Amino acid sequence: MVTFVDRVTLHLRAGKGGNGCVSVRREKFKPLAGPDGGNGGNGGDIVLVADPQETTLLSYHHSPHRTAGNGGFGMGDHRSGANGESLELTVPVGTVVKDADGQTLVDMVEPGTRVVVAPGGQGGLGNASLANPKRKAPGFALLGTPGWEGDIQLELKTVADVALVGFPSAGKSSLIAAVSAARPKIADYPFTTLHPNLGVVQAGDVRFTVADVPGLIEGASEGKGLGLEFLRHVERCTALVHVLDCATLEPGRDPLTDLDVILAELAAYPVPEGQTPLLERPQLVALNKIDVPEAKDLADLVRPDLEARGFRVFEISTVSHEGLRQLTFALGEVVSAHRSQQAAAPAPERIVIRPKGSQKDFEIRVEGGTYGNIYRVLGDKPVRWVQQTDFQNEEAVGFLADRLEKLGVETELYRAGATAGSTVVIGEGDGVVFDWHPTMSSAAELMTAPRGTDPRLDLNPRRTTSQRRERYHDRMDAKAQARADLESERIAERSAERDEESAR
């Protein structure tokens, strides 16, 4: 049974915005008192919140699909739809959020950090909001846009001050259980620890956290054992403690050889850009199991060699608790010095995002096709406007044409070489495809057609009086010509009959 998960992929779908309402107020003596359709509600967002009480991503491993609430539809009498319920997902502090391609979006290292990873859709405007002095009674409303839908990756990196590293069964779990209130699983076989354990240590006035990382073996940086899978939990630690087993019975192993193997694996592990390499951080050595007489003799033998290499060495026993006080106070000094250095460092510059007014709202990309060029319109505004348009309503389609023309899309299509009848696609992928007719002018506000219709899109326009008169005269002329032809045929037949009688 899985009890710890530090990497998971979430499938998210934010709430859809509600549609606007088309309504006209009717009351006594005022059968058409003006539009009163309300706006649709916005869709719910999906928000990640860094919670110190969370320690694993296990709940998202079992339920990776998460959906926020949809916005309500607008109603008559200027009643707007309710906003969709947002969904808050709590994650452990130290969670790294990445997109589907593995690019880092945010690193949630501070408790209480809130990040909107899936924004909800925008609610559509009702016809009351679309009315203006020129368009007093719109016969259409805008649809709600869909919310963000996609995948994100969550990767947990433990936030601890000190990391315990070493071979399997070196006594790391016993050490963290001896110096803190943590109670990890302890047994006499390798790889007892299958996930990092955290413990809080109080050394005088300094309180710090210690992480117990699963045992490392030679080749861990290449994927052997469990070390590579959990080395990411060492990235955020201030100091490293090499726990060396002085009472091992395995042939070919000794504290110095174990230390060289661990150092080689730590050097081979790449840390993210901007972080201090693992081997350049403060490192202490703990010679464990000195309660065994042979281990005590071995510790006294290798201690001068380790100190000659620049390590601070502590002889400890997790059974008798010998040397643990000196080790914890030494770690407290290292952590306190690092915190003082962090406090003295200048605060990072705040990033201020300012809108760029001169930035274009769209771009046109010319793509080759089997039957000629395809002109693809890309941009947040055109795509959103298309999503808000009800293509079953002619007036709504005309309103879309007006918006695109005012944005300058038609001018840019001319510059890109588009001609009447060219294929234009709005959005990526299949998008919305239509044949471009540049003669369609922007005059929706001046139209006097019934609500819900746009005469510019009428494929069967009514004929004018002159056209009907011309067609009537053409029909009468055709009938007269037909009668004349029949009369000439009758006269020809009678003439032929007389000639036959005369010949007899």
Domains of the chain plus CATH, in order, are 7-26+33-156 (2.70.210.12), 162-344 (3.40.50.300), 363-457 (3.30.300.350)
The answer to whether 169 is annotated as binding is yes
Element (H, E) at 300: helix 293-308
- For residue 51 the two structure tokens come to 């919670």
- For residue 386 the two structure tokens come to 């298309």
Element (H, E) at 87: strand 87-92
Q: Quick one: pLDDT at residue 397?
A: 87
Measured between alpha carbons, how far apart are the two ends of the chain, in Å? 119
Q: 12-26, 201-215, 256-270, 317-331: which has the highest mean pLDDT?
A: 12-26
**In this predicted model, which residue has the larger pLDDT, 378 or 160?**
378
Q: Quick one: pLDDT at residue 452?
A: 67
CB 10 within 8 A of CB 156: no
Angle value at C-alpha 345, between 326 and 270, nearest 5 degrees: 70
E strand residue ranges, 100-226: 104-108, 114-118, 149-156, 162-165, 197-203, 206-212
Q: How far apart are CA 168 and CA 34, in angstroms?
A: 78
When mean pLDDT is compared across 111-115, 169-173, 200-204, the lowest value belongs to 169-173
CB burial string 417-430: b at 16+ within 10 A, e below? ebeeebbbbbbeee
The answer to whether 23 is annotated as binding is no
The answer to whether 194 is annotated as binding is yes
The answer to whether 173 is annotated as binding is yes
Mean local confidence (pLDDT), 330-340: 87
Q: Quick one: pLDDT at residue 351?
A: 59
Q: Quick one: pLDDT at residue 249?
A: 72
Residue 312 backbone dihedrals phi, psi, to 5 degrees? -85, 125
* Residue 460 identity: N
The answer to whether 166 is annotated as binding is yes
- For residue 416 the two structure tokens come to 């890109």
Condensed to tens digits (0 to 9), the pLDDT of residues 259-310 reads: 888 888 778 777 777 677 878 888 888 888 888 888 888 888 888 888 888 8
When mean pLDDT is compared across 141-145, 212-216, 475-479, the lowest value belongs to 212-216
Confidence of residue 64 (pLDDT cuts 50, 70, 90): very high
pLDDT at 359 over 70: no
CB 123 within 8 A of CB 75: no
Q: Quick one: pLDDT at residue 39?
A: 95
The answer to whether 188 is annotated as binding is no
The answer to whether 65 is annotated as binding is no
The answer to whether 276 is annotated as binding is no
Residue 266: how many CA atoms within 13 Å on its side-chain side? 27
The answer to whether 296 is annotated as binding is no
The answer to whether 288 is annotated as binding is yes
E strand residue ranges, 353-454: 363-367, 374-378, 423-426, 432-435
CB 68 within 8 A of CB 118: yes
What lies within 8 Å, CB to CB, of 65 at 6+ separation is: 10, 11, 13
Burial of 198 per CB tally in 10 Å (0-12, 13-18, 19+): middle
Q: Dihedral (C-alpha) 270, 220, 295, 305: value to the nearest 10 degrees?
A: -40
The answer to whether 434 is annotated as binding is no
Condensed to tens digits (0 to 9), the pLDDT of residues 173-222 reads: 788 888 877 665 554 544 444 557 777 788 888 888 888 877 565 554 45
User: Coil, strand, or helix at residue 286?
Assistant: strand
Q: Quick one: pLDDT at residue 494?
A: 86
Q: How far apart are CA 437 and CA 398, in angstroms?
A: 12
CB 282 within 8 A of CB 238: yes
Q: Quick one: pLDDT at residue 259?
A: 85
Among the listed residues 31, 39, 51, 104, the one whose alpha carbon sits nearest the alpha carbon of residue 76: 39
- For residue 206 the two structure tokens come to 């300094």
When mean pLDDT is compared across 74-83, 129-138, 389-398, 445-454, the lowest value belongs to 445-454
The answer to whether 129 is annotated as binding is no
Mean local confidence (pLDDT), 140-156: 92
Percent of the chain with pLDDT over 70: 84
Q: Quick one: pLDDT at residue 221?
A: 47
Confidence of residue 125 (pLDDT cuts 50, 70, 90): very high
The answer to whether 167 is annotated as binding is yes
The CA–CA distances, whole Å, from 201 to 156, 177, 269, 327, 335 equal 22, 10, 27, 11, 11
The answer to whether 62 is annotated as binding is no
pLDDT at 2 over 70: no
The answer to whether 195 is annotated as binding is yes
- For residue 369 the two structure tokens come to 């096709």
What's the pTM value of the predicted model, to 2 decimals?
A: 0.70
Q: How far apart are CA 114 and CA 112, in angstroms?
A: 6
Q: Quick one: pLDDT at residue 189?
A: 41
The answer to whether 491 is annotated as binding is no
Condensed to tens digits (0 to 9), the pLDDT of residues 233-251 reads: 777 788 888 888 888 777 7
Q: Quick one: pLDDT at residue 469?
A: 85
Confidence of residue 442 (pLDDT cuts 50, 70, 90): very low
Q: Quick one: pLDDT at residue 118?
A: 94
Q: Quick one: pLDDT at residue 220?
A: 47
The answer to whether 170 is annotated as binding is yes
What lies within 8 Å, CB to CB, of 255 at 6+ separation is: 244, 245, 246, 287, 298, 299, 302, 306
Q: Dihedral (C-alpha) 262, 265, 271, 274: value to the nearest 10 degrees?
A: 60
Element (H, E) at 474: helix 465-503
Q: Quick one: pLDDT at residue 354?
A: 61
Q: For residue 501, how far is the Cα from the chain centroid?
A: 100
Percent of the chain with pLDDT over 90: 20
**In this predicted model, which residue has the larger pLDDT, 188 or 372?**
372
pLDDT at 15 over 90: yes
CB 23 within 8 A of CB 138: no
Q: Cβ atoms within 10 A of the Cβ of 304, count? A: 10
Q: How does the average pLDDT of the chain come out, rounded?
A: 81
What lies within 8 Å, CB to CB, of 343 at 6+ separation is: none
The residue to which tokens 């899109």 are assigned: 457
pLDDT at 86 over 90: yes
Q: Quick one: pLDDT at residue 459?
A: 54
Q: Cβ atoms within 10 A of the Cβ of 235, count? A: 19
The answer to whether 193 is annotated as binding is yes
Among the listed residues 158, 145, 152, the one whose alpha carbon sits nearest the alpha carbon of residue 47: 152
